[in-house]
Chains A and B, each alone.
Chain A
Amino acid sequence: MMQSVYPDGFRAYFDAWEARIGSFLEYDAQLLETAARQAAGSSSLSDDADVAGLPFGVKDNIAVAGMQLSCGSRLLDGFISPYSATSVTKLMGAGAVPVGKMNMDEFGMGSSTDGSAFKRTNNPWDTDRVAGGSSGGPAAAVAAGLVPFALGSDTGGSVRQPANFCGVVGLKPTYGAVSRFGLVAYASSLETVGVLADTAWRARAAFMAMRGQDELDQTSAEWPAGAPGDRRHGGCMVAPMTIGVLSEGAATLEPEVAFGFDEAKSALKAQGHRIVDIELPSLTYAVPAYYTIATAEASANLARFDGIRYGNRPQYSDNPEELVDKTRGRGFGDEVKLRILLGTFVLRSGFQDRYYLRAQRIRAGIRHDFERVLHGCDAILMPVFPTRAFGRGEDGLSPFAQKVADVFTCCANLAGLPALAFPTGVAGGLPVGVQLVGPAFGEGALLDIAEAYEATHPIARPVGYQSWWGTK
């Protein structure tokens, strides 16, 4: 039997992978195939057409007109968005094509994507393991080569942690750099729309297409004219930079992760960067502060899901109050209910000073800590997550342990700073990687470092991976 000729084999490739990893909740196979054929037809990509013609996946908490917007929740199962997020519209304006909606932890609350009301998403490197979360669908799909990039949302690490688990690049932009309009809010003051991509080059291309001020999001900012790193290096060596390395918490790392981290540090040094040790003492309080603020905001943000104007609701209710109660009682999963309750608790009148306001003071301290450190260096090198992709059941990580493990990622959200997770190798059959945190609007420099790293340390791909999308 003759093997199907590239790119006609894409459909089979896609189906086979998707059956194993379950990354999409909805997709347009026709659009995907057309895009794959187009990408194969163009031998090399030009700078002017960074994302033009490319398909991309969208986490199911980011609106695409005419597509579902379930947020991984039963409550919004079947809800079709009447409008598109600004990030999606901008990418479409640059010629990219949204081809489907991707699995996630319900409303972005989780680190495994097992919190989805609909299906499991498996890690392409080992399908017994999770893809991470909450943007597990996007991470798995990009890692398997089903799409060249995907949009995720990062509230406390939801882009970077799954990217790290699946061995792809994950960028959480500066707060305000990308419009949040169309991103279903979990914790408004912390989250951003982010990119998961097969390469740093691609992450930069997608980021550049969607960033900038949006009148529909008054917390968004104009991209500053003097910000670094808009030039595409295409693997060229970058000017040496000063990279601060955070050694705290190293003891909490899984040995493979610790080993990978040290290797990356050495490799960056070998590339000419100056490596200095730094400390972020306030990090000790990051996780409690993060969960206090995130759940407080979530308790308000998720109040709108009452079944009255949209969403799944009981067939019959005696009165509007009962309708709301039943809708929420049946529609939300346990983790979401837990966080709404927590948020309601920390915002009670008379207790705000003890919880919410205290968390805000810690947040200010963390921001100050980062400012101080970034005064003396261009970027901070940190682990992404203490473990590689974890398994399920006994091999899993308890919900509490998962929250504690957010320490390295959630601090960038608290500080509003850009952070880039990128793969640096494979250990024990699973990807390992690091993250760089930079000053506000310093995405370019972070991408420069990662792109140069990638040039000498090509990103490893899972067995069976095929490249369909071309790279520069």
Chain B
Amino acid sequence: MVGDEMKYQSFIGLEVHIHLLTRTKAFCSCKAAFGDEPNTNVCPVCMGYPGVLPALNGEAMRMAATVALALDCALSSRTWFERKQYFYPDMPKNYQISQFASPVGVGGHVDIPARDGAVKRIRIKECHLEEDAGKMIHTGTMSLIDYNRAGTSLLEIVTEPDFETGAEAEVYIQQLRRMVRYLGVCDGNMEEGSLRCDANVSVNLSGAGLGRKVEIKNLNSSRFVRLGLDYEIERQMEVLEKGGTVRQETRLWNENRDQTEPMRSKESANDYRFFPEPDLPVFVADGAFTESVRAGLVELPYVREHRLIADYGLSEEQASFICGERAGADWFEAAVAESIRLGVDRSIAAGRVAVWLSTDVKRVLNRDGLDASSLAACRMTGARMAAIVALVATGRISGTIARQVFDAVLAEDAEPIDIVLARGWELDVDPESIDRAVDAAFSSEASAVAGALAAMSSGNHGKARSLGSFLVGKAIAASGGKAEPGLIKAAVDRRLAAAASHAEQGARA
């Protein structure tokens, strides 16, 4: 295969459709929700009744422009729509309002991680806004159509043929999915079709440019994108290797057989007969629109990851985990900021919060069938997390107690400090109490003290350490478990050192 890979070159271009999370459809005021009872979110406009006209949803335009901007596209100051004509029973007007000559954005790019730790730049050809069709279901002798989805806003994001492998395409899809979720313009759910991916694949002798293009459909998970494209590249190479030519066609990914299969194709290619939609005026972006688009831009996941690494000294893995969902990263940063405000050292705060997030917080979310995207609504707010971190860092509670506080916050929706105080979980840090507890341990365990001192003078550090720990445990027990362990340990160490030096001086004298 290695030989073939050098002999041949593969080109993949992706067309990703995302459903924009607009409240209403792209060209009418119907609710944009398609899980509902069939044909309930419809009106004369999205049903293509005689005499109705489309009215552009400004929210759809704003979201489309935001995505285009996030992909570094140039925004068109004047955009318009075209009619893309073809007959299909689930398309009410038998033309789709789409964009052809003036997409919302053109000429962008995204960087994806490449094999050797470098990045690869993928060029974005264009982003254009269009409407979706309904859904046709065939049952026995009948064909039924649900128009709830008809007229909902779709943004099509088209790349140049810059990918070479299924893996690259998979990474791009994952990255794009995370990006649109960050922007809050799409839920990114591929299983439900909120994010759909079609691909164009061609293979040719290296250096000979693009080969004959095959379109692959039905790639409805990022994994299928990888598997389907790798399969298709392999298939085309084999065809060429055998001296054949690749047929220009549309193929479907069959997830049950792990292969692409030719789609039944009509004899002639569709001529969509695009022409400008006369029912919609040219959209001219004014200052207020541009402002709202910029306001919709957030720090993108890739950028945020790098900032978190730089700002908090996180590892790449930690940063990537935290930035998986915008709500997760927001929660993290809020928790760290509050911890710092409460006096915790910056890198300690970040490290502790990161650990909490990847262990206990994750465990609780998994238990409830949630993910980091729902953290904004979690009882364990960033501020409460910070309070727990600060309580531990200042020695007011132990790590074990911290776990219990964490569970109590979730169960009772109460503030950590209130829980600690109400339950008397706060550690005793009063110097006199500490001294009293250490006094008690030293007097009741005199042989251990003597043993420790002997071990110290004979240089047996291991034994000295274990006897010291023993004394710490006894001192904590003497306090009823309430004394702060760090302070107890410091006091025990201090007292042993003093006794040792006293004995040494005595011996010298």
Interface residues of A (CB under 8 A from B): 61-63, 69, 71, 76, 79, 81-83, 85, 180-185, 187-189, 215-219, 296-297, 299-300, 303-306, 308-310, 319-321, 323-324, 344, 347-349, 352, 356
- B residues near A189, Cβ cutoff 8 Å: 278
Is B114 part of the contact surface with A, judged by Cβ < 8 Å?
no
Mask for B269-285, Cβ within 8 A of A = 1, else 0? Answer: 00111110011110000
Q: List 30 A-B contacts (CB under 8 A).
A: A62-B51, A69-B50, A81-B51, A83-B44, A83-B52, A85-B51, A182-B52, A183-B51, A185-B53, A187-B278, A188-B278, A189-B278, A216-B55, A218-B56, A218-B281, A219-B53, A219-B280, A299-B273, A300-B83, A300-B93, A300-B275, A303-B87, A303-B93, A304-B48, A309-B47, A309-B92, A321-B87, A323-B89, A349-B271, A349-B272
Is B85 part of the contact surface with A, judged by Cβ < 8 Å?
yes
Are B92's CB and A304's CB within 8 A? yes
How many whole Å from B507's CB to the nearest CB in chain A? 99
Q: Which residue of A lies closest to B39 (CB)?
A: A309
Docked pose: A383 CA to B143 CA in angstroms: 54
Docked pose: A182 CA to B94 CA in angstroms: 19
Docked pose: A200 CA to B147 CA in angstroms: 46
Selected from A61, A69, A304, A319, the residue in CB contact (under 8 A) with B94 is A304
- B residues near A62, Cβ cutoff 8 Å: 51
Are B51's CB and A309's CB within 8 A? no
Are A82's CB and B51's CB within 8 A? no
Docked pose: A309 CA to B87 CA in angstroms: 14
Are B51's CB and A300's CB within 8 A? no
Are B55's CB and A300's CB within 8 A? no
Are B95's CB and A63's CB within 8 A? no
- A residues near B275, Cβ cutoff 8 Å: 296-297, 300, 347, 352, 356
Docked pose: A79 CA to B95 CA in angstroms: 22
Selected from A79, A218, A320, A349, the residue in CB contact (under 8 A) with B280 is A218
Are A306's CB and B55's CB within 8 A? no
Selected from B49, B143, B274, B278, the residue in CB contact (under 8 A) with A310 is B49
Are B95's CB and A324's CB within 8 A? no
B window 64-99: CB within 8 A of A: 83, 85, 87, 89, 92-95
Is B145 part of the contact surface with A, judged by Cβ < 8 Å?
yes
Q: Which residue of A lies closest to B86 (CB)?
A: A303
10 closest Cβ pairs, A-B complex:
A303-B94, A189-B278, A188-B278, A347-B273, A320-B89, A184-B50, A304-B48, A184-B51, A304-B93, A182-B51
Are B51's CB and A306's CB within 8 A? no
Further 15 A-B residue pairs, CB within 8 A, beyond A189-B278, A348-B271, A352-B275: A62-B51, A69-B51, A76-B50, A82-B49, A85-B51, A180-B53, A181-B51, A184-B51, A216-B55, A218-B56, A218-B279, A297-B278, A300-B83, A303-B94, A349-B273
- A residues near B147, Cβ cutoff 8 Å: 309
**Residue from A182, A303, A349, A356 having most chain B Cβ neighbours under 10 A:** A303
Are A185's CB and B51's CB within 8 A? yes
Are B95's CB and A303's CB within 8 A? yes
How many whole Å from B443's CB to the nearest CB in chain A? 88
- B residues near A310, Cβ cutoff 8 Å: 49-50
How many whole Å from B499's CB to the nearest CB in chain A? 89
Are B53's CB and A216's CB within 8 A? yes
- B residues near A319, Cβ cutoff 8 Å: 143
Docked pose: A348 CA to B272 CA in angstroms: 8
On whether A304 and B50 interact (CB within 8 A), knowing A188-B279, A320-B89, the answer reads yes
Docked pose: A182 CA to B44 CA in angstroms: 10
Docked pose: A183 CA to B52 CA in angstroms: 7
Q: Which residue of B lies closest to A221 (CB)?
A: B281
Docked pose: A304 CA to B52 CA in angstroms: 11
Residues of B in contact (CB 8 Å), total 32
Are A324's CB and B87's CB within 8 A? yes
How many whole Å from B273's CB to the nearest CB in chain A? 4
B window 239-286: CB within 8 A of A: 271-275, 278-281
- A residues near B92, Cβ cutoff 8 Å: 304, 309
How many whole Å from B129's CB to the nearest CB in chain A? 15
How many whole Å from B402's CB to the nearest CB in chain A? 57
Docked pose: A189 CA to B276 CA in angstroms: 10
How many whole Å from A449's CB to the nearest CB in chain B? 31
**Residue from A76, A300, A305 having most chain B Cβ neighbours under 10 A:** A300
Q: Which residue of A lies closest to B27 (CB)?
A: A218
- B residues near A352, Cβ cutoff 8 Å: 275
- B residues near A309, Cβ cutoff 8 Å: 47-49, 92, 147
Q: Which residue of A lies closest to B147 (CB)?
A: A309
- B residues near A69, Cβ cutoff 8 Å: 50-51
On whether A63 and B280 interact (CB within 8 A), knowing A306-B89, A308-B89, the answer reads no
- A residues near B54, Cβ cutoff 8 Å: 218
Docked pose: A147 CA to B155 CA in angstroms: 50
- B residues near A180, Cβ cutoff 8 Å: 53
Docked pose: A387 CA to B54 CA in angstroms: 39
Docked pose: A254 CA to B44 CA in angstroms: 45
Are A320's CB and B143's CB within 8 A? yes
Docked pose: A305 CA to B47 CA in angstroms: 11
Mask for B24-62, Cβ within 8 A of A = 1, else 0? Answer: 000000000000000000001001111111111000000
Selected from B51, B95, B272, B273, the residue in CB contact (under 8 A) with A61 is B51
Q: Which residue of A lies closest to B283 (CB)?
A: A218
Docked pose: A218 CA to B81 CA in angstroms: 13
Are A63's CB and B51's CB within 8 A? yes
Docked pose: A189 CA to B271 CA in angstroms: 22
How many whole Å from B256's CB to the nearest CB in chain A? 26
Q: Which residue of B lies closest to A191 (CB)?
A: B278
- A residues near B44, Cβ cutoff 8 Å: 82-83
Are B94's CB and A306's CB within 8 A? yes
How many whole Å from A115's CB to the nearest CB in chain B? 17
- A residues near B280, Cβ cutoff 8 Å: 218-219
Are A219's CB and B281's CB within 8 A? yes
- A residues near B51, Cβ cutoff 8 Å: 61-63, 69, 81, 85, 181-185
Q: Which residue of B lies closest to A303 (CB)?
A: B94
Are B273's CB and A344's CB within 8 A? yes
How many whole Å from B134's CB to the nearest CB in chain A? 10
How many whole Å from B7's CB to the nearest CB in chain A? 36
Docked pose: A306 CA to B143 CA in angstroms: 15
- A residues near B145, Cβ cutoff 8 Å: 308
How many whole Å from A250's CB to the nearest CB in chain B? 33
How many whole Å from A414's CB to the nearest CB in chain B? 13
Are A181's CB and B89's CB within 8 A? no
**Residue from B47, B51, B54, B85 having most chain A Cβ neighbours under 10 A:** B51
Are A71's CB and B50's CB within 8 A? yes
- B residues near A79, Cβ cutoff 8 Å: 50
How many whole Å from B337's CB to the nearest CB in chain A? 44
- B residues near A83, Cβ cutoff 8 Å: 44, 49, 52
How many whole Å from B457's CB to the nearest CB in chain A? 93
How many whole Å from B318's CB to the nearest CB in chain A? 49
How many whole Å from B47's CB to the nearest CB in chain A? 6
- B residues near A297, Cβ cutoff 8 Å: 275, 278
How many whole Å from B8's CB to the nearest CB in chain A? 32
- B residues near A303, Cβ cutoff 8 Å: 85, 87, 93-95
**Residue from B143, B279, B280 having most chain A Cβ neighbours under 10 A:** B279
How many whole Å from B95's CB to the nearest CB in chain A? 5
How many whole Å from A85's CB to the nearest CB in chain B? 6
How many whole Å from B509's CB to the nearest CB in chain A? 101
How many whole Å from B57's CB to the nearest CB in chain A? 11
Q: Which residue of A lies closest to B84 (CB)?
A: A300
Selected from B52, B83, B94, B271, the residue in CB contact (under 8 A) with A181 is B52
Docked pose: A418 CA to B448 CA in angstroms: 109
Docked pose: A180 CA to B53 CA in angstroms: 8
Are A218's CB and B89's CB within 8 A? no
How many whole Å from A77's CB to the nearest CB in chain B? 13
**Residue from B47, B50, B51, B85 having most chain A Cβ neighbours under 10 A:** B50
Are A219's CB and B279's CB within 8 A? yes
On whether A217 and B53 interact (CB within 8 A), knowing A300-B85, A347-B275, the answer reads yes
Docked pose: A189 CA to B281 CA in angstroms: 10
